[in-house]
Amino acid sequence: MTKSLSKTESMKILGVAGQNVHNGNFRADEFLRDIKGRDAVKKFREMRDNDSTIGAVMYAVEQMLRDVDIKVTAADDSEEAKAEKEFVEQVLSDMDHTLDDHIAEALSFLSYGFSWFEVVYKRRNGLDQNPKNRSKYSDGRMGIRKLACRSPWTIDKFDVDQKTGDILGIYQNTSYFGGSNYIPTRKSVYYRTTTINGDPSGRSILRNAYTAYTYLNNMQSIEAVGVERELAGIPVARVPAEYLSPDATEGQVAFRNELQSILRDVKFNEQGYIILPSDTYPDKDGAPTGERLVDVELMSSSGTRNIDIDPIIRRYQHDIARSVLSEFIMLGGGSNGSYALSKSKTDLFLRALESYITQLVDVLNKQLILPLWEINSLDVKLMPKLEAGDVAPHDLKELGAYLRNLNGANINLAEQPDIVSALLHNAELPDLDLDKYQESLEADREAELQPSVEEIVVEDEKEVSKLADLQEEVLKASLEYLKDD
C-alpha cells in the first residue's frame, strides 16, 4: 500500500535541479569547454563587443527599452496609498543615477545570462554635506543611493544553499584591490534570463548564436586573408639550392630563416621595404650575369574562385540574428523581404522585448521595493508597485479601424472615460480631464432628453392646425343653428 504524503515530508526538498545548484559555479552543466565556467563570460563579452550583428541587436534592445515608461501605481485610491506612491517616486528620482541608466545596465543579463547589482541605501536627511547621505528630501526615511553594478567577470561563484538550492549571495573577486567581497542576495537586485536547470548564472540569449559566431569569425578571417593575398599576391623568394640543403652552413641557415621571417611579415605600407644582396650568378667564364642569386617577387593567382564566400558569411549573420528573434534587421540588405514578412518578424521581436521589460519590473518590485518597505517598517498593504508601459507605439490606423467596427456594432465607448483616456495616451495626446469630460457627457444626456427646436416648431404647428380645425367646426355648427332658426 502506498504511503500517504505527510505535511513534514511535503515541505522537504529531496533533490537538486542540476550540477550548477550544487557548486554555485558558472554554467557547470555546459558541454562546450569554451563557454563553460567563467570562460563563458569572456566569450559572451567578446561576442557582444566584436560582432556587428549582435551589437546591432543589443543596441536596438537597449534603446527601445530605455524609452519604456515605468510608472509607480498606488496600492489603492486612499490618500495613504497615494502618499506611499509618491514616496517611491521620490526614491527613484533621488538616486545618483536615473532609472533609465539602471535599466540599460541591467540589460547585460541578456548577454551574460544574469546581472547583479548591490543596493546601496541612504538616510534621507536633506542636503547633507556627506555625499553618501545627500538627498532632496528630509523625512528621515531610508532611501536608495544607487544600484551599483557588479560586473559578471568580477564574480567568482554563487553562494547556494545546498539543501534548498536558494541563491544566498555572490563571492566577488577584488584581487585588483586586494581581497574578496561577499554580497548577500538580501542586499542585491539580481536578474537572470531563466532558472532552467537551477543555473544561478542563467542562460545567455547568445548561447544559440555561439556556433554561427565561431564559423562566421573563421570565414571573415579567411576572406580577409584571401583578399589580401589576391590584391598583394603571395611572396616568393628564390635562393641558391645550397641555402635549402641539409648541409647548409650556419650563415646560410641564418640568412634563410631571416628571409622567411621577412616574407611572412611583408606588407605594402609606407614603411615596407626589403634589402637583398645584389650578387648575380656567374657565367661559365666567371663573368657576372643578369640572374640574381637572391630574388623576391609577389606571385598573384590566375583565374577565378569557384566558391563565393560572401553568401556563406551572410548565412551565418542571418543565423545569429534569427537566434535572438531579430532577423528583421537583415531585411532590405538583399532582394528578398516583404512588408508583411518584416511586420511579423518585428512584432515577434517586440513581444520578446515586452517580456524582458516585464521581467525587469517584476524583479524590481520583489527585490527593491519590498526590501525598501521592510527596512522602513511600512505597511505592506500600502506598498505600490512598478508597472512598465508599452514597448512600441500602437498602430493608430489599425486601432481606428477596430473602433469603427465597434461603432458599427452599436458598441459606444464614448461613455467610458477610462477607455477614452487610454486611447488618448496611446496616441501620445494630452491626458483627459475627467471632470470636464463627465460634464460634457451629462450635457449630452440632457440634450437627448429635451426636444429639439425643430420638434418644438413641429408640435406648435400641429397645435395651431388643430385649433384652426376646431374653430372651423364651431363656425359651421353656429351657421347651421342660425339656419334652423
Consecutive 10-residue averages of pLDDT for the chain (485 residues): 76 68 75 89 94 93 89 92 95 93 94 95 85 85 94 91 85 75 94 87 93 93 77 76 85 86 70 71 74 76 70 91 86 59 80 92 96 95 92 74 76 74 73 71 68 54 64 66 58
pLDDT at position 231, please?
Answer: 62
Residues in the chain: 485
∠310-316-318 over CA atoms, to 5°? Answer: 100
For residues 465 and 126, what is the distance between their CA atoms, to the nearest angstrom? 83
Print burial letters for 14-28: b (CB count within 10 Å at least 16), e (below 16).
eebeeebbeebbbbb
One-letter amino acid of 187: K
Residue 113's CB: how many other CB atoms inside 10 A? 26
Residues 198 and 210: their CA atoms lie apart, in Å, by 22
pLDDT of residue 255: 85
Q: What is the pLDDT of residue 385?
A: 95
Residue 184 contacts residue 169 (beta carbons within 8 Å): yes
pLDDT of residue 52: 92
Which pLDDT score, from 0 to 100, does residue 442 have? 72
pLDDT at 315: 92
Helices 309-323 + 210-232 axis angle, to 10: 160
Nearest one of 41, 43, 61 to 51, comparing CA atoms: 43
DSSP of 411-431, one letter per residue?
---TT-HHHHHHHHHHTTPPP
pLDDT of 299 reads: 72
E-state strands within 43-177: 70-73, 114-123, 142-150, 155-160, 167-173
Element (H, E) at 238: strand 234-238
User: What is the structure's pLDDT at 449?
Assistant: 66
Q: What integer pLDDT is reported at residue 359 of this predicted model?
A: 94
Write down the number of H helices and E strands in the chain.
Answer: 16, 12
d(CA 337, CA 357): 29
User: Nearest 5°: CA angle at 157, between 152 and 159?
Assistant: 120
Q: What are residue 408's DSSP bridge partners?
A: none
Distance between CA atoms of 374 and 261, rounded to whole angstroms? 69
pLDDT of residue 397: 76
The neighbouring-strand residues paired with 299 are 234
- Residues with Cβ < 8 Å from 299, sequence gap 6 or more? 233, 234, 235, 236
Under DSSP, is residue 173 helix (H, G, I), strand (E, B) or coil? strand
Distance between CA 53 and CA 75 in Å, rounded? 43
pLDDT number for residue 333: 59
Using alpha carbons, select from 213, 226, 223, 150 the residue that is nearest to residue 183. 150
Rounded to the nearest 5°, which phi and psi values hold at 89?
A: -60, -40
Distance in angstroms (rounded) separating the CA atoms of residues 51 and 125 = 47
Which residues contact residue 360 at a Cβ distance below 8 angstroms, ignoring those fewer than 6 apart?
65, 103, 106, 107, 191, 388
In this prediction, residue 199 carries a pLDDT of 84
